[in-house]
Structure 1
Amino acid sequence: MKNSLRVHAALLIVAVIYAANYSLSKDVMPHYMGPFGIVTLRILGAALFFALVSRLVAPQDRLTGRADNIRAILCGIIGIGGNQLLFFSGLNFTSPINASLLQTIAPIVVVIASAVLLGEKITLLRVLGIILGGIGAATVILSRQAGSIVYPNATLGNIFILLNATAFGVYLVLVTPLMRKYHPFTVLARIFLVGAVVAVPFGWRGVLSADYGSFPLYIWAEIVYMVVCLTILAYLLNNWALKYASPALLGVYIYLQPILAVLIAVALGKDHFTGARALQAALIFGGVFLVSRKPKEAAVAPDDAIPLEPVQD
């Protein structure tokens, strides 16, 4: 399999994993375990896994220099601890489809963060895309469904999901240089360790107070899915892909997540799709499409191309 095909295959698997989580997590929260407890289990499990594997596959690889270590700490705080606490808190309050639509905003955040942190040019077309995507996100957050009986706190949940998407977009920009310089397991071990320091103070009570004896088999299976697939496998594949492709390519696959999430949520009876949501999706997708288009002069520049081969340092 060519390297470009492996990258696309990895990103497709990640999209499916994330899409299924929107519905599966609703089985666990909040009856069996609260969102902070789930986040703590996920991050601790992943931190132990990546710490062990990094010692086995890249024992001599170390993050060096003050700048790289500060960047790794920021990635752990923003992309692991803060990102996951916001996501599960938001998903606990809002519907699977709303959450998946708002997550699609992440590529817009990538462009804004790239402009602020990397000095990337923002064109008029991208400004229009940011406005269009923002309108779409606002209609989701302020929709009448936010006050429904099923999700009475959906507005708060939608805001948390929007903040989560923002954190994830900033994380993609911050982590890319590290993934291209060091072994992925080295980076993941460090940032998940930082993420654990952030998450444990919020979630340790939820982990200890859960009535594990009352968990049916399917709840155990979904918790294992969230720890192994959603955390370890998804982060591994996502960050491996960053070694070969720019954050913009990952952003393209975010389009696929809400489509898959809608299909899964409707199939499992967790949510329903309406005409209003279709319009909201069109606004957000349109905004992301405009933002993802590079200026003509930049499209031919070698430094801005999306590499599908390893970057040589």
Structure 2
Amino acid sequence: MKNSVKVHAALFVVALIYAANYSISKDVMPRYMGPFGLVLLRIVGATLFFTVLSRLVAPHDRIRGRADNLRAVACGVLGIGLNQLLFFSGLNLTTPINASLIQTITPVVTVLASVVLLGERLTVPRVLGLGMAGMGAALIILGRTPGAAGQNVVLGNLFILLNATAFGLYLVLVMPLMRTYQPFTVLARIFQVGLVLAVPAGWQQVRTPDYASFPPSIWAAIVFMVVCVTILAYLLNNWALKYASPALLGAYIYLQPALAVGIAVALGKDSLTTTKAIQALLIFGGVFLMSRKPRKVTPAVLPLEPAQK
């Protein structure tokens, strides 16, 4: 199998895993376990896996220096702790389609963070894209979406927006670490930091459920979230990042909500309306404009002036 085919297969599997997670998680929350309990289970499993794997693959690789260690802590807080706590809190309150559409704001946040932190230019198309994507997200967040009794859908949408923001910042911050150290070393460290946030947040919700009453389907959903969503998706993503272009990654970001919508509608977890389709087009159009790299300005060649005598 050619390497390009493997990259496409890896990115498609990642998109499919994340898309299915929107609907599968709703089967577990909040009836069988609270959102923070699920986060704790996921982070514990991933922390153990990546810590052991980093010791086997790169036993002498360590994150060194005060700056890199502080960056790793920031990545663990934003990309693991806050990212997952906000995501599951939001998904517990909102619908799978709303969550998957709002999550596409992540590339917008990444571009803005690159402008602030890395000095990239903010062009007119990017400003227009920011306005379009922001309008689409605002319409979803503030829209009247029916939810289950006692659910605050608007609050859930806001949590998903904050989740996308935290993850977008994480993608910019983690890049120098991934280029300097072995990826498993970085993943082990940031999951260890995320675990520090997850334990106090999810400990009570892990202790309270009646695990003996869980049907096999719920156990399968929990195993899927720990093994596939948290471990396998990270492994495939990090492998594909070595070969995939930014344009290709962007295409698969757009594929994820499309798959999530199809799965949610097929399973009867949500419904796609004309209003949601228009909101999705606004976000996709805005993200496309924001993701375009600014053209390099070629300096004009001035005619040579004769030497002054």
Report if aligned partners of 1:172, 1:247 keep a CA contact under 8 Å in 2. no
Q: Distance in 2 between matches of 1:4 and 1:13?
A: 14
Match of 1:304 in 2: none
Match of 1:303 in 2: none
Aligned partner of 1:119: which letter? Answer: G
Counterparts of 1:239-258 in structure 2 under 5 Å? Answer: 239-245=238-244, 249-258=248-257
Counterparts in 2 of 1:119 and 1:5: CA distance versus 1, 3 Å = farther
Q: TM-score, normalised by structure 1?
A: 0.91
Q: TM-score, normalised by structure 2?
A: 0.92
Q: Distance in 2 between matches of 1:251 and 1:163?
A: 20
Match of 1:196 in 2: 195
Report if aligned partners of 1:179, 1:242 keep a CA contact under 8 Å in 2. no
Match of 2:214 in 1: 215
Of the structure 1 ranges 155-164 and 59-68, higher mean CA displacement relative to structure 2 is found in 59-68
Q: CA deviation at 1:222?
A: 0.4
Measured against aligned partners, the alpha-carbon deviations of 1:58-85 in whole angstroms (never above 9, x if no partner) come to 1111112211111111110000000000
Of the structure 1 ranges 39-48 and 54-63, higher mean CA displacement relative to structure 2 is found in 54-63
Match of 1:79 in 2: 79
Match of 1:305 in 2: none
Residue segments in structure 2 that go unaligned for 5+ positions in a row? 299-309
Query: Does 2:52 correspond to 1:89?
Result: no
Match of 1:295 in 2: 294
Counterparts of 1:22-61 in structure 2 under 5 Å? Answer: 22-61=22-61
Of the structure 1 ranges 65-74 and 83-92, higher mean CA displacement relative to structure 2 is found in 65-74
Query: Does 2:169 correspond to 1:175?
Result: no
Q: Distance in 2 between matches of 1:139 and 1:11?
A: 29
Report if aligned partners of 1:136, 1:281 keep a CA contact under 8 Å in 2. yes
Aligned partner of 2:20: which letter? Answer: A
Report if aligned partners of 1:81, 1:198 keep a CA contact under 8 Å in 2. yes
Q: CA deviation at 1:11?
A: 1.8
Report if aligned partners of 2:50, 2:184 keep a CA contact under 8 Å in 1. yes
Counterparts in 2 of 1:298 and 1:88: CA distance versus 1, 3 Å = farther
Corresponding pairs, count: 298
Match of 2:304 in 1: none
Report if aligned partners of 1:180, 1:243 keep a CA contact under 8 Å in 2. no
Match of 2:117 in 1: 117
Match of 1:307 in 2: none
Which secondary structure state, in structure 1, belongs to the residue aligned with residue 238 of structure 2?
Answer: helix
Report if aligned partners of 2:93, 2:147 keep a CA contact under 8 Å in 1. no
Report if aligned partners of 1:96, 1:265 keep a CA contact under 8 Å in 2. yes
Aligned partner of 2:164: which letter? Answer: A
Counterparts in 2 of 1:165 and 1:61: CA distance versus 1, 3 Å = same
Counterparts in 2 of 1:294 and 1:68: CA distance versus 1, 3 Å = same
Residue segments in structure 1 that go unaligned for 5+ positions in a row? 300-313
Aligned partner of 1:235: which letter? Answer: Y
Q: CA deviation at 1:149?
A: 5.0
Counterparts of 1:128-147 in structure 2 under 5 Å? Answer: 128-145=128-145
Q: CA deviation at 1:176?
A: 1.4
Q: Distance in 2 between matches of 1:4 and 1:100?
A: 27
Q: Distance in 1 between matches of 2:254 and 2:219?
A: 30
Match of 1:302 in 2: none
Report if aligned partners of 1:179, 1:240 keep a CA contact under 8 Å in 2. no
Match of 2:303 in 1: none
Of the structure 1 ranges 283-292 and 62-71, higher mean CA displacement relative to structure 2 is found in 62-71
Q: Distance in 2 between matches of 1:298 and 1:90?
A: 42
Aligned partner of 1:12: which letter? Answer: F
Match of 1:259 in 2: 258
Match of 1:159 in 2: 158
Report if aligned partners of 1:115, 1:122 keep a CA contact under 8 Å in 2. yes
Which secondary structure state, in structure 1, belongs to the residue aligned with residue 268 of structure 2?
Answer: coil
Counterparts in 2 of 1:255 and 1:244: CA distance versus 1, 3 Å = same
Q: Distance in 2 between matches of 1:87 and 1:168?
A: 10
Q: CA deviation at 1:10?
A: 2.1
Q: CA deviation at 1:253?
A: 1.7
